[in-house]
Amino acid sequence: MWIANNWSDYAVLDCGGGEKVEKWGPHILVRPDPQAIWPKIDSVNAWKRANAIYHRSKSGGGQWEIRKLPAQWTISYKELTFNLKPMSFKHTGLFPEQAANWDFIMDKVRTAGRPVNVLNLFAYTGGATLAAAAAGASVCHVDASKGMTQWARENAASSGLADRPIRWIVDDCKKFVQREIRRGRKYDAIIMDPPSYGRGPSGETWKIEEDVADFVKLTMELLSDHPLFVLISSYSTGLAPSVMAYLLGITARVQHDGYIEAQELGLPVQSTGLVLPCGSSARFIGR
């Protein structure tokens, strides 16, 4: 398991009963987590001190119970700073388990010994974009949501990266990739964290189990002759790390010299020493 254990501003304090209680900077949030099926520890005081609780509805979705929480606040990971706020469907604008991948991205870019051009697809609020840019890469950030892309730009500004070479693209990822192929563009590294389900700006539908294999195959046409890495993540429980490793094996590995790693992503739990599973990732690493 790749564990995001280098946080100072974030922690899972306890989890159980289908929920987790987390420290996000100075604030404590309680959110649903389907992986935490064991009993929670009631003696962990943080459960009673939550600044906000997300209550899931039996009919789907849910809502926040805000007790004492600002409309927006920031937390930092190493040299990166992120703007957070409570969103619909339990989110805050950041997936902290991805810090394990940010460390990987920063290390690979910094030790590449050459200029690196990175494509970040389904880029959300820009965690991987900022990691690559902070390490010295040129980045193309693509997301179908104008609001998420603006949020990512604000995160870049908060991190002191507003002047870095980042292209901010609001577009359907598949259509953008197809256009980049026609333009003959190439990238040394490709990152993608596709949603389980989504819609593009013109109503295009995306279902990960049905669409991701063809999309990955298409995207590999954008890899440079000597790629640094390809990184795929998924929160969907339907895609095991081995499945994503096989997917990279029949695409990137067939075309380029390198090797593949795949693991679950995890967050350490302060109260028990357990590690909470949070999806998985696979990495093709070029030689």
Instruction: State yes or no: pLDDT of 200 exceeds 70.
Output: no
- Give the model confidence (pLDDT) of 68-79 as tens digits: 999 999 999 999
Query: Which pair of structure tokens corresponds to residue 100?
Result: 């394990």
At 201, the pLDDT band (50, 70, 90 cuts) reads low
What is the rounded average pLDDT for all residues in the chain? 94
- With 0.75 as the threshold, say if the pTM is over it: yes
Pairing of strands 2-3, 10-16: unpaired
Per-residue CA distances from 189 to 8, 83, 205 (Å): 28, 26, 26
Residue 13: partners with Cβ closer than 8 Å, 6 or more residues away: 21, 22, 23, 28, 44, 46, 269, 270, 271
